[in-house]
Amino acid sequence: MAYLTLLFLLLLIKFTSSQQISNPITTEDCNNRWIYIRNLPSSFNLDLHAKCSEHPLFDDFCSYLANHGLGQKTHSKSRSWYRSDPLLLELIFHRRILEYPCLTNDPNFANVIFLPYYVAIDSLRYLYGPDVNSSFQHGLDLFEFLQSNEPEIWKKRMGHDHFLVISMPVWDFSRPLDNDPPIWGTSFLEWPEFYNVTILLPEGRAWPWQEHDVTYPTSNKELEDKQEAVERICVGDKEGTKLLE
């Protein structure tokens, strides 16, 4: 617990105001901020967008996929404002973090590891689709992958150094595993296998230490500073809740 707290405090401290995006980022600037993006099969992220209109009980969100998840521009003459849908937070963050200046290709060198799994998008097949009767299994395929593909990355700290972003409220993923009859939601956050993973999502619960609230993206203004874009999701706006105080 102390390790995780220190890790994220060091990772999420903003660069000083004197540092500008136009200045080159040095190795010293990235000390204790290195992020490794886990290479997941596309079935866990980008392939899910191909089903953006295949959930009959859920709105078609295909139009919001434009501009890397920011959605269509609010006006033809707009340069930076977009009609964003909160569901696309996972894609927006994934796209932004790819331009984060402190990425590393070595998981052993990284301070934290990002899992680019679109939890909310994948949950639609359980909540509104054909897999509704097996929604308690949500996430098990991801855990099986982490255990079988380069398992040493996961086993090094058993998930304590991993984090992911979810674009829907926690109540959609906290159905008790032993609940009978089934109630609303999937059981993704109830599996002990993911208890150590830090979760960034809107409307988290107060008691799990690993859940941290972030703001919904709506009518989003694209940020030219990619460093700021990634850290705003993690740290929050000045008025918002920070990941770690």
At residue 17, the pLDDT reads 31
At residue 127, the pLDDT reads 87
Distance of CA 169 to the CA centre of its chain: 13
DSSP character at residue 48: G
Q: What is the C-alpha to C-alpha distance for residues 207 and 202, in angstroms, rounded to an integer?
A: 15
Residue (of 178, 186, 176) closest to 121 by Cα position: 186
Q: What is the C-alpha to C-alpha distance for residues 203 and 184, in angstroms, rounded to an integer?
A: 16
Domain residue ranges of the chain, discontinuous segments joined by +: 2-14+28-59+106-215+226-235
Each of the 245 residues of the chain gets a pLDDT tens digit; together they read 444 433 443 344 333 233 334 455 667 788 889 999 999 999 999 999 988 888 767 888 998 999 888 888 888 887 778 888 889 999 999 999 999 999 999 999 999 999 999 999 999 988 887 787 788 899 999 999 999 999 999 999 999 999 999 999 999 999 888 876 677 889 999 999 999 999 999 988 888 888 998 888 866 555 444 455 455 555 444 444 343 23
At residue 243, the pLDDT reads 36
At residue 51, the pLDDT reads 86
Q: What is the C-alpha to C-alpha distance for residues 136 and 140, in angstroms, rounded to an integer?
A: 9
